[in-house]
A and B are shown apart, each in its own frame.
Chain A
Amino acid sequence: MTLITSKRHRGAHDAGPSGWFVAPALVFFVIFAVVPLVGVIALSLANWNGIGAITWAGFANWAKVLVDPVTGNALVVTAKIMVFSYIVQAPISILLGAFVAGKQRYRALLAVFYFIPLLLSSAAVAIAFKALLDPNFGLGAGLGIPALAQDWLGNPDLVLFVVIFVIAWQFVPFHTLIYQGAVRQIPASMYEAARLDGAGTIAQFFHITLPQLKYTIITSSTLMVVGSLTYFDLIFILTAGGPGYSTRLLPLHMYLTGFRSNDMGAAAALGVILVVIGLLLALMLQRLGGKDRSANQTEGA
């Protein structure tokens, strides 16, 4: 983004902050992101089982990974989790965020409760849900409600939705928090003007709240979509990618290839694929937001 901005302003004023200001961040970025990335690309061209000698493999790992049906399946599972997670999380977060942005005391109290899942680590969430969803000793069996005693984590058709539910349970609070802050920043004068024009609560939400949240929606969506490429700990503990390959999404597939099958070369190739997809998605979402960031949001108020 800096590149585009600097191009646009070139010539207009060339006395911006010194380029050296970027140095500290750049050093960290190179050491902790670029160097490992180059290492991963190099490793994807090698054979390594984690302990033996590293030998040159050429593009053998890539050929293997790209034709492997398990990789294709992992991509489909990743895409499904991404899309469904977004469809579930985004509307709930926006509505909850707008709701708890209200000044009433009970809403502040509820906000605290909504916030709790965010305080738990993914591992704790996964272990808790695994126990609750156990078909023989879990919630259903404990409360004597047969409808809840499904084979939640063992049924290949059901498990994906269970995973999406648990992910939503954990991450909706975070996005709610983002929207809460954003809604509170919308000037009250806009709502006053709308009310004078005779707009009801619902009309206000669609014509003022939503348009005003545009950039927050883009931020939150980026985090949700790119974040779903990094779901690992939760699913690893909850299902370990199973049953079969039903929840073996790309990051998990990479880990299991590297650390269970001890095929580091193939795992590195999968890692590169993951990085490329992540970058493309982030770029796409930024584009969706439009280029002109300085446009006046309060126009017409």
Chain B
Amino acid sequence: MKRRTLTSVVAGAAILALTLTGCGSAGNAVPEGSATMWTISGATEPIIKESVSRWNAAHEDESIKIDSFADDAFKTKVRTAIGAGEGPTFIYGWGGGVLRDYVEAGEVEDLTDFLKENPEVSERYLQSVLATGQVDGKTYGLPNGANTPVMIYFNKKVFDDAGVTPPKTWDDLLKLVKVFNDKGIAPFSLGGQSKWPNLMWLQYLTDRIGGPEVFQAVIDGKPGAWSNPAIIKALSMIQELVDAGGFVNGFSSIAADSGADRALLHTGKAAMLMQGAWAYPTFKTDAPQFVKDDNLGFAPFPTVAGGTGDPKNIVGNPSNFWSISSKATPEQKKAALAYLKDGMFDAEYTKQLIDTGSVPVVTGVEDQLKKSEDADFLTFTYNLASNAPHFQLSWDQALPSVQGDAMLTHLDQIFLKKITPEEFATNMNKTLGK
């Protein structure tokens, strides 16, 4: 009995020690009452952290305390904290419906006047990106990172072995599905358990078939907006692709957060993957050799015959944004605005973003992009975004969260073939205007 107690005590202590080390924070010592900043972990996290420490070193009286959290956990945490009046000065966001919630609750500062007084701040951005940080014509969020459209990544080696080229049209894509299935390679990898990767398919197909107006009607809450023939057709095309074996076996238990969908591509088990430009930096860290050997290809989403949408349209996340809490103290707000003006997007910040393989949302970086070791990808992404007549924000971010969550779950059931496109439309029409 004694020995058993000892074992459990030792094991318990070991687990405790692990938990404690897991909690260890970066420990940036800043004075009490400084502005606070919450960001998410990922490719841009170290860049933002470094930028803040440079800022703190140069501006002792306007220092910022930074913390970072995992993506999904952050979304819940920040909302709860803001609701409780404990939110950070800098609120990291995606624009869209969530930002609108904050604006309607009076939780974030109107930055319109700040931009008027400091025109150089708004001038540094690509103008199309600024719009996502606006609600009813007023600016509440300023872009802080990379431009991330969604595209089709492909494994060049797998394509060369099969003697095929990336799909230009939907028919090409269906032919490729057959080619790869015959060779025992999954045509598309998909992180279906995370649900939002499924959404990219619906977004692109709907846009190609019916144009951006179709989803705008949903945002506007027009009755029956989900029953638009373009959405029904897009959903049936998704189910046809599922039937044709377009997606990897077991896609609905693959999580995008753990990178399993990307791993399928760079290990050659899958030929293609539709993902956002944010996946490129993680390819570089997960499979450096694969990227270095120029095996990672990228292509725009194919055209759909008979569709009325502009094939140059893109979907994805135009950028991430900083909003400033209206509950912050005047000192915190002052420090925050000063950082947005002079600290963010200094030359070092922009350079580091490009070095990780991201396209910063600022103007005048074309030369830097061309000189980068990832020039192919960066210029491709830059051109994709700057030539697009319409850049659709991810639907789950654009919609209020009640509708966004229901949409993701119903779409999951479309991929599983548990419901028909018509059932999807009926169920989703009920959520309109909520």
Chain B minimum-CB-distance residue to A116: B11
**Is B269's beta carbon under 8 Å from chain A?**
yes
Question: How near does chain B come to A133, taking the closest CB pair, in angstroms?
Answer: 7
Q: Is the CB of B269 within 8 A of A136?
A: yes
Which residues from chain A contact B251 at a C-beta distance below 8 Å? 154
Question: How near does chain A come to B268, taking the closest CB pair, in angstroms?
Answer: 12
Known: A50-B80, A154-B192, A261-B402. A243 touches B416 (CB 8 A): yes
Known: A51-B107, A52-B104, A243-B412. A112 touches B4 (CB 8 A): yes
**Is B352's beta carbon under 8 Å from chain A?**
no
Alpha-carbon distance A108/B4, docked complex (angstroms): 9
Q: Is the CB of B249 within 8 A of A156?
A: no
One of B174-182, B227-235, B253-261 at the interface: B253-261
Question: How near does chain A come to B98, taking the closest CB pair, in angstroms?
Answer: 9
Alpha-carbon distance A263/B251, docked complex (angstroms): 30
Alpha-carbon distance A135/B193, docked complex (angstroms): 12
**Is B33's beta carbon under 8 Å from chain A?**
no
Alpha-carbon distance A155/B193, docked complex (angstroms): 11
**Is B12's beta carbon under 8 Å from chain A?**
yes
Mask, A83-115, CB within 8 Å of B = 1, is: 000000000000000000000000010011001
Which residues from chain A contact B401 at a C-beta distance below 8 Å? 49, 260-262
Q: Is the CB of B249 within 8 A of A135?
A: yes
Q: Is the CB of B102 within 8 A of A51?
A: yes
Q: Is the CB of B193 within 8 A of A151?
A: no
Alpha-carbon distance A119/B251, docked complex (angstroms): 32
Partner of B409, one of A53, A154, A244, A262: A244
Q: Is the CB of A136 within 8 A of B248?
A: yes
Alpha-carbon distance A112/B4, docked complex (angstroms): 7
**Is B116's beta carbon under 8 Å from chain A?**
no
Mask, A130-150, CB within 8 Å of B = 1, is: 110111110000000000001
Known: A119-B15, A134-B253, A135-B253. A51 touches B105 (CB 8 A): yes
**Is A170's beta carbon under 8 Å from chain B?**
no
Alpha-carbon distance A115/B412, docked complex (angstroms): 38
Which residues from chain A contact B7 at a C-beta distance below 8 Å? 112
**Is B8's beta carbon under 8 Å from chain A?**
yes
From residue 232 to 252 of chain B, which have CB atoms closer than 8 A to chain A? Answer: 248-252
Which residues from chain B contact A243 at a C-beta distance below 8 Å? 192-193, 252-253, 412-413, 416
Which residues from chain B contact A208 at a C-beta distance below 8 Å? none
**Is B183's beta carbon under 8 Å from chain A?**
no
Which residues from chain A contact B412 at a C-beta distance below 8 Å? 242-244
Query: Interface size class for chain A?
Result: 35 or more
Partner of A154, one of B76, B107, B252: B252
Question: How near does chain B come to A126, taking the closest CB pair, in angstroms?
Answer: 12
Mask, A185-220, CB within 8 Å of B = 1, is: 000000000000000000000000000000000000
Q: Is the CB of B102 within 8 A of A153?
A: no
Q: Is the CB of B250 within 8 A of A135?
A: yes
**Is B101's beta carbon under 8 Å from chain A?**
yes
Which residues from chain B contact A136 at a C-beta distance below 8 Å? 248-250, 254, 260, 263-264, 269
Which residues from chain B contact A49 at a C-beta distance below 8 Å? 101, 105, 401
Alpha-carbon distance A301/B82, docked complex (angstroms): 65
Question: How near does chain B come to A199, taking the closest CB pair, in angstroms?
Answer: 29
Which residues from chain B contact A152 at a C-beta distance below 8 Å? 253
Alpha-carbon distance A263/B405, docked complex (angstroms): 11
**Is B266's beta carbon under 8 Å from chain A?**
no
Q: Is the CB of A263 within 8 A of B195?
A: no
Most buried by B among A137, A151, A242: A242
**Is B217's beta carbon under 8 Å from chain A?**
no
Q: Is the CB of B101 within 8 A of A244?
A: no
Mask, A208-239, CB within 8 Å of B = 1, is: 00000000000000000000000000000001
Question: How near does chain B come to A243, taking the closest CB pair, in angstroms?
Answer: 4
Q: Is the CB of A134 within 8 A of B4?
A: no
**Is A245's beta carbon under 8 Å from chain B?**
yes
Alpha-carbon distance A262/B269, docked complex (angstroms): 38
Alpha-carbon distance A130/B191, docked complex (angstroms): 14
Q: Is the CB of B405 within 8 A of A260?
A: yes
Chain A minimum-CB-distance residue to B414: A244
Q: Is the CB of B260 within 8 A of A134?
A: yes
**Is A259's beta carbon under 8 Å from chain B?**
yes
**Is A41's beta carbon under 8 Å from chain B?**
no
Most buried by A among B253, B264, B406: B253
**Is A240's beta carbon under 8 Å from chain B?**
yes
Question: How near does chain A come to B143, taking the closest CB pair, in angstroms?
Answer: 23
Alpha-carbon distance A155/B249, docked complex (angstroms): 11
Enumerate chain B interface residues (CB-CB to A < 8 A).
Answer: 4, 7-8, 11-12, 15, 76, 79-80, 82-83, 101-102, 104-105, 107, 192-193, 195, 248-255, 258, 260, 263-264, 269, 401-402, 405-406, 409, 412-413, 416, 418
Closest 7 CB pairs of A and B: A135-B250, A154-B253, A154-B252, A153-B253, A151-B250, A52-B105, A51-B83
- Known A50-B79, A131-B258; further 15 A-B contacts with Cβ < 8 A: A51-B107, A52-B104, A115-B4, A119-B12, A130-B258, A134-B253, A134-B254, A135-B253, A136-B263, A151-B252, A154-B250, A239-B253, A242-B252, A260-B401, A261-B406
9 A-B pairs (CB sep. < 8 Å)? A50-B79, A108-B4, A115-B4, A150-B250, A154-B193, A154-B253, A239-B253, A242-B195, A263-B402
